[in-house]
Amino acid sequence: MSGLWSVSLGFSEPRLAMAAARQFERLPYYHLFNSRSTQPAIELATRLLEIAPSKLGKVLFANSGSEANDAAVKLVWSYNNAKGRPRKKKIISRMRAYHGVTIATASLTGLPANHANFDLPIDRVLHTDCPSHYHGALDGETEEAFTRRIVDNLEQMILREGPDTIAAFIAEPINGAGGVIVPPANYFAQIQALLAKYDILFIVDEIICGFGRTGNMFGSQTFDLRPDIMTVAKALSSSYLPISATLVSSEIYEAVVEQTSGKGVFAHGVTYSGHPVCAAVALETLNIYQERGIVEEVRKVAPQFQERLHALESHPLVGQARGRGLIGALEIARDKARKEPFQCARRHRKGCSDGGGRARRPSSRYP
Ligand SMILES: Cc1ncc(COP(=O)(O)O)c(C=O)c1O
């Protein structure tokens, strides 16, 4: 892993530095509490809604992907309180998901290292199967049969818990930190049918997939997803400054507003939410994506990237090559035929020299 999937415009884009400098001179800070706002925050919210999937109608800013997903969880809970469904609060995530490190979002994350020693996950979070045919299929199971089985497992989980207790399902279009898991064809279509059947909201975490990486502006377009809530960060500002956003459907927004208006405030927000300098840099980032046709560029170069990546599958140590657009991974295998991995991960913490290579630094955050 060479980076955190974030510096989409490279490390020396002068226009982003200039956008920050201009905004520092104009207005270095103001908050967004009590119905106040700033020009860059208003413009950025407007621009995001122009390019986002159609259901989404409002934007809540924060500083990191974790906070954006955390806000999504709070909005889901608040929405169900507003709808008079106080029991409908559980959120289903997936094994190998990565959604952040706050108490709620580390719980949503489906990686053991993020739970161990932190007393996580919290009890309102459940994990269902990861859609990885490579890792999860039974012997001889086709991709279609595998997909049917894991979708059926999800339905059994919903029925076991009680559909009136399940509030939302959260997914990255392609799991990033969990190992670049590209879902099988029809996986999300079947998942979305289940969510509709049991009145469960869909939170799509676009924090890696957003802004062109999969060959469309959002992974939601690549996989035909219809999110009720969508979160973005990282490439939103090419990571030059910290900013994230939770985009929410008008239906959720209106229900929450109606419920909170009687009480005077929607008591959620952080000091640097929609910070004008971060918002100005994000706006300039979106301008550059548009002017330089970044999404088209991804579409142009992705076939060659994927072709060369997949050519490595013939290597004796590569179990699988997978990816979409400009996201890709190689699964390294000790025994290809048996999909047997190297036992590196277990020794990682002490420094791994499996395979005779150099000792590697331990990775604390991503296994
Ligand atoms: C898909 C996804 N969601 C959420 C996050 C959390 O974002 P942050 O590290 O900005 O809190 C990440 C970070 O890598 C991520 O990849």
The CA distances from residue 115 to 176, 201, 347, in Å, are: 18, 24, 19
CA distance linking residue 158 with residue 178, whole number of Å: 24
Of all protein residues, the one whose alpha carbon is nearest to atom 3 of ligand 1 is 99
Q: What is the pLDDT of residue 343?
A: 79
Phi/psi at 175 (5° precision): -60, 125
In terms of domains, do 345 and 283 share one? Answer: no
9 inside domain: no
Q: What is the pLDDT of residue 1?
A: 62
In terms of domains, do 343 and 253 share one? Answer: no
CA distance linking residue 117 with residue 5, whole number of Å: 27
Token pair listed for 325: 């657009």
107 inside domain: yes
Q: Which of 198, 195, 202, 220 is nearest to 210 (CA)?
A: 220
Token pair listed for 321: 């090559």
What are the pLDDT tens digits along the chain (367 aa)? 678 999 999 999 999 999 999 999 999 999 999 889 999 999 999 999 999 998 999 999 999 999 999 999 999 999 999 999 999 999 999 999 999 999 999 999 999 999 999 999 999 999 999 999 999 999 999 999 999 999 999 999 999 999 999 999 999 999 999 999 999 999 999 999 999 999 999 999 999 999 999 999 999 999 999 999 999 999 999 999 999 999 999 999 999 998 887 776 788 999 999 999 999 999 999 999 999 999 999 999 999 999 999 999 999 999 999 999 999 999 999 999 899 988 765 554 444 444 333 434 444 333 3
Of all protein residues, the one whose alpha carbon is nearest to atom 7 of ligand 1 is 65
Cα-to-centroid distance, 314 and ligand 1 (Å): 32
Residues with CB under 6 A from ligand 1: 4, 64-66, 69, 98-100, 172, 176-177, 205, 207-208, 233
Q: Ligand 1: which atom is nearest the Cα of residue 244?
A: 10
In terms of domains, do 300 and 217 share one? Answer: no
Q: What is the pLDDT of residue 35?
A: 87
| Range of the structural domain that residue 159 is part of | 14-291
Token pair listed for 331: 């699964």
Q: Are 333 and 341 in contact (CB under 8 A)?
A: yes
CA distance linking residue 269 with residue 75, whole number of Å: 12
- Which residue of 64, 98, 366 sits with most ligand 1 atoms within 8 Å of its CB, as the best mutation to test the pocket? 98
Cα-to-centroid distance, 356 and ligand 1 (Å): 33
Handedness of CA 105, 110, 112, 113 (dihedral sign): negative
CATH code, domain carrying 313? 3.90.1150.10
CA distance linking residue 118 with residue 25, whole number of Å: 43
Question: The whole model's pTM is what?
Answer: 0.93
245 inside domain: yes
- Which residue of 66, 209, 365 sits with most ligand 1 atoms within 8 Å of its CB, as the best mutation to test the pocket? 66
Q: What is the pLDDT of residue 293?
A: 98
Count, residues in the chain: 367
- Which residue of 8, 232, 234, 364 sits with most ligand 1 atoms within 8 Å of its CB, as the best mutation to test the pocket? 234
The structural domain count of the chain equals: 2
Q: Are 321 and 330 in contact (CB under 8 A)?
A: yes
Q: What is the pLDDT of residue 260?
A: 82
142 inside domain: yes
134 inside domain: yes
